[in-house]
Amino acid sequence: MQITTTTQSVNKDAGLIIPIAQSDEKDIILDRIAAAFDLDADLLRLDFSASAKEVLNLQGKNSENGKQRLFLLGLGENPGISKMIQSARAFIHNRKKKLPLQLQLSFAYGNLADDLIRSAEALINGFCLGEYNIGRFKTDEDLVAAVETSLEVLVEAENKERVDEAVKRGQAFAEIQIEMIKLVNAPSNHKNPVDLSNWAKQAAQRYGFTAKVIEKEDMEEIGLHGVLAVNRGSEYPATFTIMEYKPEGTALKKVGLVGKGVTFDTGGLSIKPSTNMHFMKSDMGGAAAVFGTMAMAARLKLPIHLIGIVPATDNSVDALAIKPSDVISSYSGKSIEIIDTDAEGRLILADGLSYMVQNYEPEILIDLATLTGSVIRALGYVAGGLFTANESLSKQLLNAGTRTGERLWSFPIWEDYGEMIRSDVADVKNFSGKPMAGAITAAKFLEHFTHEHACWAHLDIAGVAMSDMEFSMQKSATAFGVRLLTDFLENL
């Protein structure tokens, strides 16, 4: 989508989008629109309630007496960022080929003027995301072909600069989010650990950070035993990607991000039931969040020294695959008893976390992972789980979640839960063996590998990395975490 911000519209036959929140003033707004475009106000009130994602498609007359195509776009009551993005995304996605190729967006008639900058960024982000096409492997070219739309954002001169910046941000986020959505939606025969590390190398060039990759043949010597253990059952060599972004001036903070990059999780020998196994192509949603945040931090030139680590492998079944009862080592040197090979994410994160702490000593340490089914049973698909003992970090992350609509909810990590993963034979076991508190015991496991870092948080995003989207009948990727973490970093 070609987007410009302008005070003077040039496209006289563009379709005009008017976003409207549901509120008491809605009728006054509709009166105003009816007067401006020579429409029947009573009919408008009957036909349009401004609920989220509602669209009323009209033909009016503008002041120059020309025909004007109008789209009233409902946003729902007190729309937060999420509802605005969803409504805009659905608007473009659902109409794709039925839309005029030239569109305009105006805040002059609706009720978003008080919240102009936030709304502009969110709506533009949603419009751009709406262009994503999930039918990557369809052979009918008509279905896959991109539609080249243009959009003029109409503003008053005094707001032009600020709106323009918001528009560019919304667009930049969408670009990165779509790259991540494509990566997460890619099936396992089109996505292996090398594909993930290659994405990082290319993005590093494009956006201005560095990426280096530890290849499988060097892992034994370096001591990445957790990654190697999970990779034993795989035909694809594991990768361990280390990205670094340094700002030009002095950095306010040094932040380390670690993302789970399991390109497909069969469960290993503790194999998963087949019903929902196809969703396990998304088991690198944590990696995608870290990738996307690296790219955004570099694009926005944030004053933060950022390090991102992505251990990547699939978790497959093979004669050489790890077995329950195996005892493995880890980068930290701690031994781990394998109770369930399906608790694989924590094994590769253990190495990622230790490696980060021991080699980079970040002031803030955050890991993201599609780690447990347990967090989905607790929070559904509505929020990610937050696990941290650091109160101020907790507040900052929860606030970023509220601001971006990528919500988090906090869990306790009391030592009582730590006792559930004590091993008889090794330093720790990877599963308690009991069907309870699974998300929390997973966090307690990871804690062993943070070397008592004082400012560490674990985000379990199993329920939010995939969600119901306009693009698909089944759940599909969300790029959850990119806006959350970028917002968190911007507000440090």
Query: Which residues would be at the binding site for Zn ion (CB under 5 A)?
Result: 262, 265, 283, 345
How many whole angstroms separate alpha carbon 380 and alpha carbon 145? Answer: 35
Q: What is the nearest approach in angstroms of Mn ion to the Cβ of residue 344?
A: 5
Q: Could you say which of 3, 167, 284, 343 contacts ligand BES (CB under 6 A)?
A: 343
How many whole angstroms separate alpha carbon 133 and alpha carbon 150? Answer: 17
How many whole angstroms separate alpha carbon 175 and alpha carbon 178? Answer: 5
- Which region, judged by CB under 5 A, interacts with Mn ion, from 101-109, 286-294, 329-337, 343-351? 343-351
Helix axes 345-360, 438-447, angle to 10 degrees: 30
Partner from Zn ion, Mn ion, ligand BES, none binding residue 409, C-beta < 5-8 Å depending on class: none
Two tokens at 145? 């072909």
Q: What is the nearest approach in angstroms of ligand BES to the Cβ of residue 224?
A: 18
Partner from Zn ion, ligand BES, Mn ion, none binding residue 54, C-beta < 5-8 Å depending on class: none
The yes or no reply on residue 373 touching ligand BES (CB under 6 A) is yes
Partner from Zn ion, ligand BES, Mn ion, none binding residue 152, C-beta < 5-8 Å depending on class: none
Q: Could you say which of 71, 91, 417, 431 contacts ligand BES (CB under 6 A)?
A: 431
Closer by beta carbon to Mn ion, 38 or else 318: 318
How many whole angstroms separate alpha carbon 357 and alpha carbon 364? Answer: 10
Two tokens at 300? 């926005």
The yes or no reply on residue 304 touching ligand BES (CB under 6 A) is no
How many whole angstroms separate alpha carbon 478 and alpha carbon 181? Answer: 6
The yes or no reply on residue 462 touching ligand BES (CB under 6 A) is yes
Q: What is the nearest approach in angstroms of ligand BES to the Cβ of residue 428?
A: 13
The yes or no reply on residue 354 touching ligand BES (CB under 6 A) is no
- Give the catalytic positions in this structure: 272, 346
Q: Which residue's Cβ lies closest to Mn ion?
A: 342
How many whole angstroms separate alpha carbon 12 and alpha carbon 15? Answer: 9
Residues contacting 127, CB < 8 A, separation 6+ = 1, 88, 89, 91, 92, 105, 151
How many whole angstroms separate alpha carbon 402 and alpha carbon 487? Answer: 10
- Which region, judged by CB under 6 A, interacts with ligand BES, from 7-15, 289-297, 342-350, 484-492? 342-350
- The bridge status of strand 55-61 relative to strand 456-460 is unpaired
The yes or no reply on residue 388 touching ligand BES (CB under 6 A) is no
Q: Could you say which of 256, 261, 345, 401 contacts ligand BES (CB under 6 A)?
A: 345
Two tokens at 410? 């906090």
The yes or no reply on residue 208 touching ligand BES (CB under 6 A) is no
Closer by beta carbon to ligand BES, 14 or else 229: 229
The yes or no reply on residue 460 touching Mn ion (CB under 5 A) is no
Count of residues binding ligand BES (CB under 6 A)? 17
Residues contacting 381, CB < 8 A, separation 6+ = 463, 464, 466, 467, 468, 475
Partner from Zn ion, Mn ion, ligand BES, none binding residue 372, C-beta < 5-8 Å depending on class: ligand BES
The yes or no reply on residue 367 touching ligand BES (CB under 6 A) is no
Q: What is the nearest approach in angstroms of Mn ion to the Cβ of residue 470?
A: 29
Binding mask 31-70 for Mn ion (x = CB under 5 A): ----------------------------------------
The yes or no reply on residue 233 touching ligand BES (CB under 6 A) is no
Q: Could you say which of 54, 121, 179, 265 contacts ligand BES (CB under 6 A)?
A: 265
Partner from Mn ion, ligand BES, Zn ion, none binding residue 373, C-beta < 5-8 Å depending on class: ligand BES
Closer by beta carbon to ligand BES, 265 or else 314: 265
Closer by beta carbon to ligand BES, 196 or else 462: 462
The yes or no reply on residue 316 touching ligand BES (CB under 6 A) is no
The yes or no reply on residue 342 touching Mn ion (CB under 5 A) is yes
Partner from Zn ion, Mn ion, ligand BES, none binding residue 125, C-beta < 5-8 Å depending on class: none
The yes or no reply on residue 438 touching ligand BES (CB under 6 A) is yes
The yes or no reply on residue 314 touching Mn ion (CB under 5 A) is no
Q: What is the nearest approach in angstroms of Zn ion to the Cβ of residue 342?
A: 7
Partner from ligand BES, Zn ion, Mn ion, none binding residue 314, C-beta < 5-8 Å depending on class: none
The yes or no reply on residue 344 touching ligand BES (CB under 6 A) is yes
Point out which residues bind Mn ion (CB under 5 A): 265, 342, 344
The residues binding ligand BES (CB under 6 A) are 265, 279, 283, 340, 342-345, 370-374, 376, 431, 438, 462
